[in-house]
Amino acid sequence: MPGPHDLLPRYALAGMPAAADLYNRISAEPTRPSCRLIVGVAGSGKSMLLTLIREALRGADVPLADPFAESVPAGSAVIVDDAQDLSTERLAALEQLARRTDLTVLVAVRPRSSDARLSALGRAFADGQPHLVLARLSRTQATERARVRLGADALSPALVELIGRYSGGVVGTFDAALAALEDLTGTELRSRAQVEAALADAVRSRIIQTLRATPADVRAALVVAGLGVHLNAPELAHTLGVDEDAALVLIDRARCTGLLTDTDGLLSASAPALTAVVGESAIGTIQQRVLAARLELGTLSLATARALAAVPVRDQRLADHLTAAADAIAAADPAQAAELYEAALRTGTVDAATSIRHAESAGRSGNFDRALQIIDSTWEGSSAETIPTEDLRSAARISASVASCRGLTARSAELYGWLGPDRAGLDAPIGAVILLAEGRIEQAQAMLHARADRPQTSLSAAWSQLANALLQSLTSPAAQSLGAMMRAVSMMSTGRSDRMLPDTVTAIAATAALHAGELDRAESLLRRAVRDDDPIAGPRHALLLAWIAMLRGDLDAAQSQVDAVGPNLAQRDLLFAHGLRLGLARRRGDLGAVTQAWQQAQDAVAEARADLFNLLPLGELWVAAARLRAVPRILLLIDEARNLLSRLGEPPLWSAAVHWYGVQAAILSERPEDLVPHANSLSAAAESDPYAACLADAGRAWMKVLTDQADLAEVSAAATGLERVGLSWDGARLAGEAALHAGSTQDATALLQTARSLTLARTAGPSPDAPAKPALSGPLTDREGDVANLLVLGMPYREIGSRLFISAKTVEHHVARIRNRLGAQSRSEMLSMLRTMGYGAQPAAT
């Protein structure tokens, strides 16, 4: 391997196009006079460039003159490095030489805008060619430099970027990192951690060398820069106890070290080296001076305060500053406010009221664990009697809200039961809603009769309206209570709430609308309230919109929406997501997907508890369990749900959907006797609830289908009724199953036509303005009919594909579409339906 001296001309200027251009021009015409000022920070490659040029001139027999001799002969070359350290007289001599046209004059200098002498020197050189500024390596330049030194395939782009980040693009530090990698070639270059450790050590050693050669006052300026403080002379002078002129010089010299970014921030790799050289104690003293200076001048920025807190600098004034900043943004940006409250805790002490505001911000940003830690710590540190009622009320609300988001509504109800109507104040309606969700009617009524100690806000008025509407929904027709819930939503302000709440008024009203089959009304509410930037309400509303799409039969839209919310959900929302995935898989007739979704839901099932607002996902879990013969796994939750409805008096608005799920579970379990009590409950509710009446008709139709007593008109009417309340998939399935039990081919064909029309209705898309899809001439397209004929004859996909000149994969696609069109629950059900429709009786056209 060549030695460093042999490699120097080849790679030394790689990735430095301007420096390479100067070197090449002088090497090509060494006797032609050239006058350039070379500007760059420490380690930028100035000295390396001058060394190369000096060697090139010597090789061409160009004499190198002493710039400070009494006379400098024409035709010679003058090369000077680090001119910023020269005396005023010598700088003046260089100015004279720079104006001569019979010399090559190359002078390297670090940029110091505060030094008037260097400015004069720069003007002298500006009469010739522009200054050569050696800037930091760009990503492209760094890649080229690494490629030339270590080989084309030695480093990945990610590793080159990592080296650039460590070095800040300074050539000297970048080369030190490359040199470290040369020792890790071949089989030793295995671990990224090993590579990063080698890079960090090499860069740290290089920076330590630079710092040790740097004066102490310049290092102090670097410490200030490390706090994210923009370096300016008045504040630095106040911090370090020097005059402003001296501060300007320190700023220039700090920038010349190459350890600052272009915006005066300290390179991240420089921080550990700075601590090693300056010492933690000295750094702490400087940081305290920065805080004191900024507070005295009234210029303490939020960025600087956060940087001081990260150290941390312990000072109550800093804690108070951070607390005030957090209070100012808590309503609009709870996540950042929570970070600022945390920073305040590191720097000083905070009172109970501030801790509660901290918990509020943590909870609203989705950090439930931290919110509960703060509330628990507040309660453990003080007795309930010593905490002001307002703070106690807020603490209970935050803790209860976290419990509700985690699906622990019973815990939430316990907290409001403990708080009681006397201390609940404006939060009493919230407590009433939670207590009703747990079936505690008397406690909820007591909350609603509580007198607030001040006028209601729009938020508390909306919750009060909602609580009364929920209470009304237990005894009144659904239309009345739903209307009251809609009014509750309209009473809300349009802005985002700045309080941690157990749920949103919109979500609860939309859930009630879903229970009543009012899908359009639920969607309208949710569309107006969706906020992607709210980590709690956003996913909650999105999942409810997905539920609407699923009920309508727009399975692709529902799948897209449930996938979009991501995996990091609160436990309550996670239960809804599992219910959606199970419901979608079941409606697609994909038993494998149902099984997989069921297995994935088991942790949520184990942790779930029934409440009034999670009955829908529990229903989907119930039906999936029946499909998989796993009802015992869900029986405890189903019993909880039915006991809850019993405590509430079996209100039709809330119980109808549950009993409809019970009907479907009984069907899938092949236990018609289990269907009877649910059908009876639906029939009892039908007198006062149109939605329950529709489900009751469908339940009676299912009972007759299962006992081979189906009536064509009754089944068709029930199936169409289901479609009218948004349950088109359920209606298609009822008609399709009835076709299998039909006593005549004519009835079977009519029922299949009904199933097909409902299937087409649910796949036509939700937009009434969308262009109509061309109607099919029959239950299946011509190509699907060809596939169906051969499929019923028992041919495998490969043979069907061979007959029809299509691939087996395409056959599989057609089969999936056939099954979806027919609403078949299984392959055997699909084949039975196809036989009833007449497929397989004649060979398919090919």
Interhelix angle for 519-529 vs 537-552, to 10°?
150
In the block, tokens 């969706």 appear at 530
* Contact status, residue 291 vs residue 317, Cβ threshold 8 Å: yes
The CA distance from 754 to 476, in Å, is 35
Report in angstroms the alpha-carbon separations of 352 from 358, 381, 712: 10, 9, 69
pLDDT at 636: 93
- Residue that the structure tokens 């210029």 belong to: 299
Phi/psi-derived region of residue 15, left when phi > 0, alpha when psi is between -120 and 50, beta in every other case:
left
> Of the candidates 423, 362, 355, 369, which has an alpha carbon nearest to the alpha carbon of residue 392?
423
User: What whole-number distance in Å separates Cα of residue 586 and Cα of residue 647?
Assistant: 31
- Tokens 């090499």 map to which residue? 202
Note the Cα 520 to chain centre separation in Å. 29
Radius of gyration (Cα) for the chain, nearest Å?
39
Contacts of 97 (CB under 8 A, 6+ apart): 67, 72, 78, 103, 105
The class (CATH top level) of 573-748 is mainly alpha
Separation of CA 428 from chain center: 34
Q: How many residues does the chain have?
A: 846
**Residue 690, token pair as written in the block:** 């149109």
**How many whole angstroms separate alpha carbon 48 and alpha carbon 341?**
50
DSSP-derived secondary structure letter, 187: G
Phi, psi of 471 (to 5 degrees): -60, -40
- DSSP, collapsed to helix, strand or coil, labels residue 830 as helix
Dist CA 561 CA 570 (whole Å): 16
Q: Does 33 sit behind a cis peptide bond, omega within 30 degrees of 0 on the bond before it?
A: no
CATH number, span 367-544: 1.25.40
Please give the pLDDT value at position 770: 32
Q: Is 4-133 a CATH 3.40.50.12780 domain? A: no
User: Which residue, chain included where needed, has tokens 């196009």?
Assistant: 17
- The candidate with the shortest Cα–Cα distance to 52, out of 116, 7, 99, 97, is 7
Contact (CB, 8 A) for 482 and 520: no
- What's the fold here for domain 782-836? Arc Repressor Mutant, subunit A (1.10.10)
Instruction: Please give, one letter per residue, the 3-state secondary structure of 622-688.
Output: HHHHHHCCCHHHCHHHHHHHHHHHHHCCCCHHHHHHHHHHHHHHHHHCCCHHHHHHHHHHHHHHCCC
Distance of CA 71 to the CA centre of its chain: 70
Residues in contact with 98: Cβ distance below 8 Å, sequence separation at least 6, in sequence order: 35, 37, 105, 107, 121, 124, 125, 127, 128
DSSP 3-state percent helix, strand, coil across the chain (nearest 5): 65, 0, 30
How many whole angstroms separate alpha carbon 313 and alpha carbon 288? 7
Measured between alpha carbons, how far is 791 from 476 in angstroms, rounded to an integer? 53
Burial class (CB in 10 A: 0-12, 13-18, 19+), 353: middle
Q: Minimal CA–CA distance to 431: which of 413, 418, 411, 458?
A: 413
Evaluate whether 736 touches 833 at the Cβ level (below 8 Å). Answer: yes
Count other C-beta atoms under 10 Å from residue 552's C-beta: 23
The dihedral built from the CA positions of residue 244, 245, 246 and 248, taken in this order, carries a sign that is positive
The pTM of the full predicted model, rounded to 2 decimals, is 0.74
Check residue 339 and give its pLDDT: 96
Of 579, 577, 505, the residue nearest 543 (C-alpha): 577
Tell me the C-alpha to C-alpha distance, in Å, between residue 263 and each of 221, 225, 259, 266, 709: 14, 10, 11, 9, 83
How far apart are alpha carbons 574 and 577 in whole angstroms?
5
What token pair was written down for 166? 């460590």
Q: What is the mean pLDDT of each run of 10 residues along the chain (846 residues)?
A: 43 90 92 93 93 93 92 94 94 92 93 89 80 92 88 77 88 90 62 81 92 94 86 88 92 92 86 91 91 88 89 93 95 94 94 94 95 91 76 94 95 94 92 96 92 77 94 90 91 74 95 93 87 82 95 89 88 96 89 91 93 96 93 93 95 92 87 85 85 87 82 87 83 82 79 77 42 42 83 81 71 86 78 76 44
For 8, 83, 121, 306, the CA distances from 250, given in Å and listed in that order, are 34, 17, 20, 24
CB 755 within 8 A of CB 837: no
Chain CA centroid to CA 31, Å: 63
Residue type, 578: H
- For residue 255, the cross-strand partners are none
Q: Where are the alpha helices (DSSP H) in 45-115?
A: 46-59, 88-98
CA–CA dist 342, 357 (Å, integer)? 11
Assigned token pair, 465:
């309206």
Query: What is Dmax (Cα atoms) for the chain?
Result: 123
Q: Give the distance, in angstroms, between the CA of residue 107 and the centroid of all CA atoms in the same chain.
A: 53
Task: For the beta carbon of residue 600, count every other beta carbon within 10 angstroms.
Answer: 13
pLDDT at residue number 299: 85
Q: What is the pLDDT of residue 668?
A: 84
What pLDDT score does 47 carry?
92
- In this prediction, residue 297 carries a pLDDT of 85
Residue 106 β-bridge partners: 36, 79
The DSSP call for residue 29 is: S
3-class secondary structure for 715-740? Answer: HHHHHHHHHHCCCHHHHHHHHHHHHH
Contact 716, 735 (CB under 8 A): yes
Distance CA 398, CA 393 (A): 9
**Nearest-angstrom CA–CA distance, 759 and 328:** 54
**Alpha helices for 567-601 (secondary structure H):** 571-587, 591-600
Task: Answer whether 660's CB lies under 8 Å from 701's CB.
Answer: no
**C-alpha span between 356 and 601 (Å, rounded):** 34
Hey, what amino acid is at 110?
Answer: R
